[in-house]
Structure 1
Amino acid sequence: MISTTDTILIVGHGSREDSGNQEILAFADQWRQRQPTWRIEVCFIEFASPSLNQGLLDAARQSTRVLVVPLILNAAGHVKMEVPEAIEQTRLAYPQTEILLAPHLTACDPVLTVLRRRLRKAMQALDMPDPTTTGVVLLGRGSSDRGANGDMAKMARWLLESGDHELVDLAFTGITWPRLERVVQRQALLGMKQIVVLPYYLYTGTLMQRIHRQVDHLRQQYPQLRFHCTDHFGFEPEIFELMSQRILDLDAKVPDSRLPCDGCTYRELAHEAGHGHSHEHTHTIQVHPAGAGAVAPGHSHDHDHAHGHAHDHGHSHAHPHESQTA
């Protein structure tokens, strides 16, 4: 049970655009209203205060237990590497405080419900055109981590299978491909009459502003097409419910309720070997054979590459989000 000596620590990405950071603080305020007995605090990975390290230290100093929950859709280097590393440092500084890490929001049915509702509202704004002639573009941040990009691809596929649109494509604002312009070009060539752009973002920021400018340019470039671009969706009820469920699962020690990288043996070995944050690994739960380097049952996971021996020492150490801001 969540007690008054526990601190729930929201980890936001952080943005150069302060309005995005203010929205995360507003989310925390609204979550406190929904959960008035919980002590909920906020920290940011970059661009805003308090920082991840400071937020963890402050929470650990005043709590018997800290429940860390990333308010982040896809897990790349920040969630897989930096957050667990910061938690390890805090555990050393405050060994008497229990610190647990919940999974990020990830690809799941509640997020799909949000996207479907956003798509329905977009179709209403377009006066309910034929979905078979209305293309959909799910537009996300993009990462050098293929697991994070794969989660977005999963959401695009689920969106396709849950509706009547014949074209639901994936595009990214940076780091990887394809970009929005190329996907719109393809959908126009395939005969779409309308295009709905669904930004896969929780909060505003410089990238959301860029997306709306890009759609305005596309309206001028394709005057024969009708466009509708939805907004970010961080304050939808499903997001609050999903965050609360993450905390309840963590509190109840539900199996697999921890982020697999928290305490991951392979991540620690990679860190000691000098590998950077572009530690591309997805988390398919499986039981490894017992023996040297094996992970304990219930925590074992496939990092999508051979550990300990088959690391490509020439692979890029670029941070998954190094050229972008939220």
Structure 2
Amino acid sequence: MNDTTILIVGHGSREESGNAEIRDFLSQWRALRPGWRIEACFIEFAPPSLHDGLLAAGRNSRRVLVLPLILNAAGHVKMEIPEAIEHARAHCPGVSFQYAPHLTACEPVLEILRRRLRGAMHQLDMPDPTTTGVILLGRGSSDRGANGDMARMARWLQEAGEHELVELAFTGITWPRLERVVQRQSLIGMRQIVVLPYYLFTGTLMQRIHRQVAHLRSQYPQIRFACSTHFGFEPEIFALLETRVDDLIAGREGSALPCDGCSYRELAHDMGHGHSHEHTHAAVIPLQVEPA
């Protein structure tokens, strides 16, 4: 893959430890795949920026595989990254930029959540799923599709286990919030509550979650709480990205977002968000890729 760059796109955090974790993730993946050229950039808060990362990859490659290291498809995935890819195509003619889907709600992520839930239950004195509520806690978005993906994961988690109560909460943007869901679970008699953060890496929001759970422990002394942490370094995440790479290289159906998500952006434009749908699309350049 000497002429191909794999560019992972992280969100970026105001908390530098979160950005450092993404760089650590990058180092670990490079160690697993020494024959691959793997780089990273950030949508906000950390260098290199999304635009800088795309341009640097385009100047050094004939093909750039853009992989969003993001769980849910909200504005960043549907708008910002595709528009940045358009900009990079205009400045790097002859380079093939291919855009993979985000990680999304899927069986590998469900398996991570199930494993985290089992671990949290082992921390509790009474590992009884019938008296233990589960709260899947995500960032929240103004995009209902992104929130719907989280709702799907919560439902899958309930169907995959013995817990009668698996609910959804958000740290911001939308509702319900963690405190409200805990209050509701307390009122219906849950004696234990497991909080499962739906985050890949640490940052200001993960730190806030742990402070919130500490506060809830003092507010509800009759309830035992267990809280897991972010899961970006789990083997399933590396495997998902490798599958994205393999699918893009093989040209498998569904491996790339059609027209870089133009349908998303056209809808946003129709709703008054200001994106112009008048753009061109670079042809995909077939490449001979050496086995990794």
Q: Per-residue deviation at 1:35?
A: 1.2
Instruction: Give the alignment partner of residue 36 of structure 1, picking from 34, 43, 52.
Output: 34
Partner amino acid, structure 1, of 2:38: I
SS of the residue corresponding to residue 190 of structure 2 reads coil
Return the alpha-carbon distance in structure 2 between the equivalents of residues 179 and 114 of structure 1. 23
What is the match of residue 289 of structure 2?
Answer: none
Counterpart check, 1:59 vs 2:57: yes
What is the match of residue 11 of structure 1?
Answer: 9
Q: Which runs of 5+ in 2 are unaligned?
A: 276-292
Q: Per-residue deviation at 1:265?
A: 5.5
Instruction: Give the alignment partner of residue 77 of structure 1, picking from 51, 61, 75.
Output: 75
Q: How many residues align?
A: 275
Return the alpha-carbon distance in structure 2 between the equivalents of residues 231 and 71 of structure 1. 17
Return the alpha-carbon distance in structure 2 between the equivalents of residues 129 and 259 of structure 1. 42
SS of the residue corresponding to residue 213 of structure 2 reads helix
SS of the residue corresponding to residue 265 of structure 2 reads helix
1:96-175 equivalent positions in 2, closer than 5 A? 96-127=94-125, 129-175=127-173
Instruction: Give the alignment partner of residue 226 of structure 1, picking from 204, 211, 224.
Output: 224
Coordinate RMSD, CA, aligned: 1.5
Most deviating of 48-57 and 262-271: 262-271
4+ aligned runs moved over 3 Å, structure 1: 268-274
Partner amino acid, structure 2, of 1:91: R
What is the match of residue 189 of structure 2?
Answer: 191
Classify 1:178/1:276 alpha carbon distance in 2 versus 1 (closer, same or farther; 3 Å): farther
1:275-294 equivalent positions in 2, closer than 5 A? 275-276=273-274
Q: Per-residue deviation at 1:227?
A: 0.3
Q: Provide Cα deviations, 1:170-205, integer angstroms capped at 9, x if missing partner.
A: 000000000000100111111111000000000000
What is the match of residue 202 of structure 1?
Answer: 200
The answer to whether the Cα contact below 8 Å between 1:6 and 1:39 also exists between their aligned partners in 2 is yes
Return the alpha-carbon distance in structure 2 between the equivalents of residues 53 and 232 of structure 1. 27
The answer to whether the Cα contact below 8 Å between 1:81 and 1:261 also exists between their aligned partners in 2 is no
Return the alpha-carbon distance in structure 1 between the equivalents of residues 249 and 269 of structure 2. 29
Q: So what's the TM-score if we normalise by structure 1?
A: 0.82
Return the alpha-carbon distance in structure 2 between the equivalents of residues 134 and 266 of structure 1. 39
Partner amino acid, structure 2, of 1:153: A
Return the alpha-carbon distance in structure 2 between the equivalents of residues 218 and 134 of structure 1. 15
Return the alpha-carbon distance in structure 2 between the equivalents of residues 275 and 258 of structure 1. 24
Q: Per-residue deviation at 1:259?
A: 2.3
The answer to whether the Cα contact below 8 Å between 2:65 and 2:100 also exists between their aligned partners in 1 is yes
Return the alpha-carbon distance in structure 1 between the equivalents of residues 145 and 270 of structure 2. 23
What is the match of residue 254 of structure 1?
Answer: 252
